[in-house]
Amino acid sequence: TSSETYEHILISHPRPGVSLITLNRPKQLNALSSPLFSDLNSALSTLDSSPSTRCIVLTGSHKSFAAGADIKEMSTLTFAEAYGRDFIKSWSQQISNTTKPIIAAVNGYALGGGCELAMMCDIIYAGPNAQFGQPEIKLGTIPGAGGSQRLLRAVGKSRAMEIILTGKMVGAKEAGEWGLAARVFDTPEACVEGALDTAETVAGYGGLAVKAAKEVVNHAEEVGLSEGVKFERRVFHGLFGTKDQKVGMEAFVKKEKPEWTHE
The least CB distance from residue 192 to ligand CO8, in Å, is 20
* Comparison of 167 and 258: residue with beta carbon closer to ligand CO8: 167
Residue among 130 and 209 whose Cβ is closer to ligand CO8: 130
Min dist CB 122 to ligand CO8, Å, is 16
Whether 69 is catalytic is yes
Supply the minimum distance, in Å, between the C-beta of residue 84 and ligand CO8. 17
Nearer to ligand CO8, 101 or 143 (CB): 143
Catalytic option among 104, 108, 114, 116: 116
Q: Which is nearer to ligand CO8, 29 or 44 (CB)?
A: 29
Q: How far is CA 59 from CA 108, 110, 147, 170, 239, in A?
A: 10, 10, 18, 18, 32
- CA trace torsion 205, 102, 46, 244 (10° rounding): 20
> In angstroms, what is the minimal distance from the CB of 224 to ligand CO8?
28
**67 or 202: CB nearest ligand CO8:** 67
Q: Select which of 31, 66, 67, 69 is catalytic.
A: 69
Q: Please identify which of the residues 68, 108, 113, 206 carries the catalytic annotation.
A: 113
Helix pair 157-166, 147-155: axis angle to 10 deg: 140
Q: Which one is catalytic: 60, 136, 181, 209?
A: 136
Q: Which is nearer to ligand CO8, 72 or 230 (CB)?
A: 72
Task: Please report, as ranges, the residues that interact with ligand CO8 according to CB under 6 A.
Answer: 28-29, 31-32, 67-72, 88, 91-92, 109, 111-113, 116-117, 135-136, 139, 143-145
Q: Give the Cα separation of 126 and 176 in Å (integer).
A: 8
Nearest Cα residue to 22 out of 180, 188, 207: 188
- Residue 127 CB, shortest distance to ligand CO8, in Å, is 15
Residues involved in catalysis: 69, 113, 116, 136
